[in-house]
Structure 1
């Protein structure tokens, strides 16, 4: 059986797509945006930890045939760096999507996508705290502008609700998830020097193990998957597209145009996700959404102005 890479390289259309970073990254953004849409749509069918467990468990099964030769070779390095791998697997795989799906129980996919747009600003902050990165006055101003945009979305434009901390629980959970992801993105600098498939497979294994106690707790409390065609399709989507293909395409995009350009391009993710939320879930765009996302992107622009590469960029699903 041929690997996905070989399949893409065979045939004129496949070869053309595999050689075009912007097509691959557009598909990546679409798949990752779809993750929040499906998580919100399936909230009454699949409990959050359950959805996260099956997402990453099935993705791991898809990845292992590709990763196994690299994993065997890189195992001594991964084992020697087990503390860092544990941290990265727990944050990037175990925590983020479990919290995202939990937040989507009580907030909209639109809010979830726009809150994730604040990740670049939070990555800059975490870089300063955790890695002692130098942050310029311009970058500090950009972060403040972006965070004002986040607060506008979380408070739904209501300053009184913000002062009283009367916020939507789902927004708060997703905000915490985004914060944890920013720590993960910064700590990726200390990941062991192994093949990308080895690293991804190892983090998936760790993440799945971290999710298991929460999955068992959901079962024990009676929160079970509703057996239906829709729940099966939801699990299949999140396991195949945002977990397997999106990471494959994202890694190829970095290979073709570099991480800086890839990170900048992936800023289309929240905009694409907001459009999908309105199109498929009928969610409504309010003026505080527009103001919030405008402030977030203005902050990214201000912080990045005059730099050779974007000061902060990340992507995930």
Structure 2
């Protein structure tokens, strides 16, 4: 979880450094990640052939949702700051908690909801000093909200699918699907595929290796051991890491209120995870021991 949080915190920095369209960044990010994963996919070929038609349909939908997330959220960083965009992204657990309740009847404890509330307040503190009233900021905020809803749907579908298939295979198929969606989008929009300087290609590779391999793939793997709500709560650490990196690498200034918000985010995250751990222990104690 900690490795994943640090890794995805670099995502917004790399995106800010790039001048390429968000759809091109997203396409090569997912394409390069898929190429890195393919040599290790052979052991999962049997599981791929065992997938049902419904599974392939859900994998395709998950890929579309992931592509939509990258397109909207990466696009938001062209209009607003790292702190504002990642602050809105931290609302992801709210959408997932609602979706998990509606789709899977998954309930959360009062302690978990308290932790979520503390973390959300902290995230608001982080972005408070950076949210403006300009048209650009508003556009960026709306794009980030759309990207948040899309990734919530992606994770909820993933929670269902990784219960029946290896998370590695799930990640690979979804990444290829999302890359194909970006390819069609760029083709229809007339966006060039190859006319980019070497610096941009280096950023595309960094986006694939750091936040995708060590971030999204790790979070997909964690879906085998934790709910989508719990995994998404760990993504709340991204605004803290991203804001610190933006301060160090991009010169984006942070106020005392924003630093305090970072402390609240991590505190809320700790409360949520502790509540989930207590719940898991109670369930384990309630199960009869096999003798």
Please state how far the C-alpha of 1:127 moved relative to its aligned partner: 1.8
Q: 1:137 to 1:200 in 2, by over 3 A?
A: closer
Residue 285 of structure 2: aligned partner: none
User: In the TM superposition, what is the alpha-carbon distance from 1:50 to its structure 2 partner?
Assistant: 0.6
Instruction: Tell me how many residue pairs correspond in the alignment.
Output: 276
Aligned residue in 1 for 2:277: 308
Map of 2:139 onto structure 1: 169
Name the stretch that deviates more: 194-203 or 118-127: 118-127
8 Å CA contact 1:56–1:208 kept in 2: the answer is yes
Q: TM-score, normalised by structure 2?
A: 0.76
Question: Closer, same or farther in 2 for the Cα pair 1:299/1:32, shift >3 Å?
Answer: closer
Inter-partner Cα distance in structure 2 for 1:27 and 1:127: 25
Q: CA deviation at 1:281?
A: 0.8
Alpha-carbon offset, residue 251 of structure 1: 6.7
Paired residues for 1:151-170 under 5 Å: 156=129, 168-170=138-140
Structure 2 contact 119–269 (Cα < 8 Å) conserved: yes
Say whether the 8 Å CA contact 1:145–1:298 is kept in structure 2. yes
CA distance in 1, matches of 2:243, 2:130: 18
2:238 to 250, 266, 269: 269
1:68 aligns with 2:42: yes
- RMSD (Å) for aligned C-alpha atoms: 3.7
CA contact (8 A) 2:90 2:235 kept: no
Q: Secondary structure at the match of 1:77?
A: coil
Which residue pairs with 1:199 in the alignment? 170
CA distance in 2, matches of 1:73, 1:139: 35
1:57–1:208: 8 Å Cα contact kept in structure 2? Answer: yes
- Corresponding position of 1:107: 80
Matched-pair contact (CA < 8 Å) for 1:48–1:101? yes
Aligned: 1:232 with 2:201: yes
Whether the 8 Å CA contact 1:46–1:225 is kept in 2: the answer is no
Q: Deviation string for 1:124-145 (max 9, x for gaps)?
A: 2322233333345555555555
Q: Per-residue displacement from partner, 1:269-313 (whole Å, max 9, x unpaired)?
A: 3322221111111111135534654555565566566443589xx
State the partner residue of 1:208.
179
> Which residue matches 2:14?
38
Measured at CA, do residues 110 and 166 of structure 1 come closer, stay the same or move farther in structure 2, by a change above 3 Å? Answer: closer
Alignment match, 1:51:
25
Which residue is equivalent to 1:116? 89
TM-score normalised according to structure 1 size: 0.71
Instruction: Indicate if the aligned counterparts of 2:158 and 2:223 stay in contact, CA closer than 8 A.
Output: no
| Superimposed CA distance per residue, residues 189-212 of structure 1 (whole angstroms, 9 cap, x where no aligned partner) | 321511222211111122122222
- Correspondence list, 1:274-285, <5 A: 274-285=243-254
Name the CA distance, whole Å, in 1 between partners of 2:183 and 2:8: 23
Aligned to 2:101: 128
**CA distance in structure 2 between the aligned counterparts of 1:30 and 1:100, rounded to whole angstroms:** 18
What is the CA–CA distance in structure 2 between the aligned matches of 1:217 and 1:116, rounded to whole Å?
Answer: 28
**Cα distance in 2 for residues equivalent to 1:98 and 1:135:** 31
CA contact (8 A) 1:225 1:231 kept: no
Structure 2 residues without counterparts, runs of 5 or longer: 281-291
Q: Deviations over 1:243-265 (max 9, x none)?
A: 2344565677788xx548x9476
> Kindly tell me: are residues 226 and 69 of structure 1, through their superposed partners in 2, closer, same or farther at Cα, counting changes over 3 Å?
same
